[in-house]
Amino acid sequence: MDKQSKATISISEAAKELGVSTKTLRRWTDAGKIKYERSVSNQRRFYLADIKRLMPRDLKQLDERITVNYARVSSHDQKADLVRQVQMLEAFSGSNGWQFETIQDLGSGLNYNKKGLKQLLKRIMAGDIGRLVITHKDRLLRFGSELVFAMCEEFNTEVVIVNKSIEETTFEMELATDMIELITVFSARLYGAKSHKNKRLIDGVAKAVEESK
């Protein structure tokens, strides 16, 4: 071991190096998350090389990260389902003793540009979220939820999926709503927003959906 590897610093110096308070650093060491040695005067001493190896992402993982519940429905007439979804997630997280926040989205599962989803992904990549709780994987995206799961794995975010019967009752209806939106977008591009052919197509699909409820 070279001199630099053997060099030790005090707890105040280590805290300054890491950009945290001495209270936080003392809590981490008491929990066994950072190694230290005792000096002859019984003071905590930290190896400078160990401290310098810690990256900002590592520091966030040393502390307790937040649990985030994510709830989503496709349309305004499903707001009651959104409320039940939020209640279910918060009851589940609360019963497990997790400190949590809840993000709600109102928008199609085909829409990758939802405000809540963008906020969720940004915080996952920042390393702020330790656990993501959803009622069903389609709450994230109708297609592409596996990409979000891969991102969670990369940033050490645990994913918890709570499957409940309420999800099954709304799944087909919400999927139909998403498909209407998809057809609307593509048919509008193909035929023009004012096309009579486009309007007949959308009216026909909407009627079929209504009859299937």
Question: Mean pLDDT in runs of 10 for the chain (213 residues)?
Answer: 69 90 84 85 91 74 80 84 91 86 81 84 86 87 79 84 59 55 53 57 57 53
> Would you call 68 helix, strand, or coil by DSSP?
strand
Closest CA to 25 of 48, 51, 6: 51
CATH number for the domain whose boundaries are 66-166 = 3.40.50.1390
Q: Are 110 and 178 in contact (CB under 8 A)?
A: yes
**Which among 5, 39, 74, 165 is annotated as catalytic?**
74
Task: Read off the pTM.
Answer: 0.53
- The answer to whether 12 is a known catalytic residue is no
For residue 153, the one-letter residue type is E
Closest CA to 10 of 29, 54, 31, 55: 29
3-54: CATH class = mainly alpha
Q: Are 127 and 101 in contact (CB under 8 A)?
A: no
Locate the domains of the chain by residue range. 3-54, 66-166, 169-212
